[in-house]
Chain A
């Protein structure tokens, strides 16, 4: 469900690309990047028992 949520965030970012002020796009893009990084860290450390 977290992966689906991140794809929804990316879809929302795709729908904000045409705004004159790109602030919303950049915020959504940043949030998506942070979420992908955290999910990657979770899966990378899962087997090590670090329970990130």
Chain B
């Protein structure tokens, strides 16, 4: 089996840190949602989407290293290009939310985490992703993983599954929050799917009661 040495190994490890770091931020936001009982607003959800799309770039590079005959320079360009496009969109979304709450005496949306609100942290994360992607492309002469691995190692597999599970958890979370509505409410106060299910049970039990009475 081929192994990586020197800068290529450092670059390959950094790609994993990149993906796991973004997943960690999204999972941290989910922890605030479920432990802190703060329902995410539509803009928060859009920022999560942009972060996960940005994480797909380095994940693409990691996966392509185990594909025979792939051009590593092209893969590097595609992967970091994906990250840059997604993080520019994320900067717009988080920047808008920062500007919505920028006036003095505005309490902001939700509780602050380590002194900053989650959308401000998201702005910092997207800026960091842009910086890291740009630097990786600038130093692609050293950082390109040019060797093709025979198969993905255990660390890469774990990273792949962490990303997939993070995305799948968000599918369930957002569906529970929006219920059967097309859009999320601007200021969500409850999980709509759970409320709809309770309403369904109530209507069913009252219909059963009326049937028994007649």
Does A22 sit at the interface, judged by CB under 8 A? yes
Interchain CB contact under 8 A, B50 and A36: yes
The segment from B9-17, B129-137, B182-190 that touches chain A is: B182-190
Assuming the A-B contacts A1-B178, A29-B53, A40-B92, are A14 and B46 also in contact, with contact meaning beta carbons closer than 8 angstroms in the complex? Answer: no
Contact with B along A1-25 (1 / 0, CB 8 A): 1111011101101110111101001
Main secondary structure of the interface of A (DSSP, over half): helix
Q: Which residues of chain B come closer than 8 Å to A39, judged between CB atoms?
A: 42, 46
Q: Which residues of chain A come closer than 8 Å to B163, judged between CB atoms?
A: 14
Interchain CB contact under 8 A, A17 and B60: yes
In the assembled complex, the Cα of A1 lies from the Cα of B177 at a distance in Å of 9
Does B170 sit at the interface, judged by CB under 8 A? yes
Interchain CB contact under 8 A, A18 and B64: yes
Does B154 sit at the interface, judged by CB under 8 A? no
In the assembled complex, the Cα of A20 lies from the Cα of B89 at a distance in Å of 27
Interchain CB contact under 8 A, B184 and A3: yes
Does A33 sit at the interface, judged by CB under 8 A? yes
Interchain CB contact under 8 A, A18 and B66: yes
Interface residue total, chain B, C-beta cutoff 8 A: 43
**Contact residue among A14, A22, A43, A46 (Cβ-Cβ distance under 8 Å from B167):** A14
Q: How large is the interface on A (under 10, 10 to 19, 20 to 34, 35 or more residues)?
A: 20 to 34
Q: Which residues of chain B come closer than 8 Å to A22, judged between CB atoms?
A: 60, 64, 75, 78
Interchain CB contact under 8 A, A2 and B182: yes
Q: Which residues of chain B come closer than 8 Å to A47, judged between CB atoms?
A: 186
Assuming the A-B contacts A14-B59, A22-B78, are A43 and B46 also in contact, with contact meaning beta carbons closer than 8 angstroms in the complex? Answer: yes
Assuming the A-B contacts A7-B170, A40-B93, are A13 and B49 also in contact, with contact meaning beta carbons closer than 8 angstroms in the complex? Answer: no
In the assembled complex, the Cα of A15 lies from the Cα of B163 at a distance in Å of 10
Chain A residues engaging chain B, CB cutoff 8 angstroms: 1-4, 6-8, 10-11, 13-15, 17-20, 22, 25-26, 29, 32-33, 36-37, 39-40, 42-44, 46-47
- Other A-B pairs, 18, CB within 8 Å; known A11-B164, A14-B163, A29-B53: A1-B178, A1-B180, A1-B181, A4-B178, A8-B171, A13-B53, A17-B59, A17-B60, A18-B64, A22-B75, A29-B82, A32-B49, A36-B50, A36-B53, A40-B92, A43-B183, A43-B186, A46-B186
